[in-house]
């Protein structure tokens, strides 16, 4: 399994190429309804006091949401993620990120738009227990 490299002391970007930062900016400016709804609940340390970033470059990927303190990526999947071509790509991406110590959890657009409270409760299960 491939180890990701770091290009900053804290390893937050894991060697992300500079082109990823422009793409991430584009994605932030063109968010989906589900992304906007979840971001309203994550922004400004509203959930558990943890800082989340949206459309965060990490290695060759761009995470929908990332909390560096928790080493947690939250992905929001539209219907395209259910295709025969995309499923194995998503699985490989998750394996690589998890091998590098980053937890990945996924939700569908429908889950977020129809039951945001259940989504938030599931995210909270990733928080450290006192």
At 12-44, the pLDDT tens digits run 656 676 777 877 787 788 899 999 999 999 999
pLDDT at position 46, please?
96
Range of the domain at 66: 18-124
Please return the burial class of 38, using the count of CB atoms within 10 Å of its CB with bins 0-12, 13-18 and 19+. buried
**Total domain count for the chain?**
1
What DSSP designation does 99 have?
Answer: H
Residue 129 located in a structural domain: no
What DSSP designation does 39 have?
Answer: H
Residue 31 located in a structural domain: yes
Residue 80 located in a structural domain: yes
- Packed helices 116-124 and 33-42: angle between N→C axes, nearest 10 degrees: 50
- By the 8 A CB rule, do 92 and 100 touch? no
pLDDT at position 123, please?
97
Query: Which residues are CB-contacts of 108 (< 8 A; sequence separation ≥ 6)?
Result: 76, 77, 78
Residues of the chain falling short of pLDDT 50 = 5-10
* pTM score, whole prediction: 0.82
Residue 5 located in a structural domain: no
Query: Which residues are CB-contacts of 63 (< 8 A; sequence separation ≥ 6)?
Result: 55, 56, 57, 73, 74, 75
- By the 8 A CB rule, do 109 and 77 touch? yes
Residue 50 located in a structural domain: yes
pLDDT at position 116, please?
98
Q: Which of 16, 95, 84 is nearest to 56 (CA)?
A: 16
CATH number of the domain encompassing residue 78: 3.40.960.10
Residue 63 in tokens? 């995470």
Place of tokens 């394996």: 95
């Amino acid at each position: 399994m491939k180890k990701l490299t770091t290009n900053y002391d804290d390893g937050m970007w894991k060697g992300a190429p500079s082109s990823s930062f422009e793409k991430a900016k584009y994605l932030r400016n063109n968010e989906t309804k589900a992304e906007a709804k979840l971001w309203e609940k994550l922004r400004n340390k509203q959930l558990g006091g943890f800082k989340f970033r949206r459309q965060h470059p990490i290695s060759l990927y761009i995470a929908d949401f990332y909390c560096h303190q928790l080493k947690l990526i939250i992905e929001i999947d539209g219907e395209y993620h259910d295709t025969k071509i995309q499923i194995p790509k998503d699985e490989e991406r998750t394996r690589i990120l998890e091998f590098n110590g980053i937890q990945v959890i996924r939700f569908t657009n429908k889950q977020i738009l129809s039951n945001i409270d259940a989504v938030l409760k599931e995210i909270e299960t990733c928080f450290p227990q006192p």
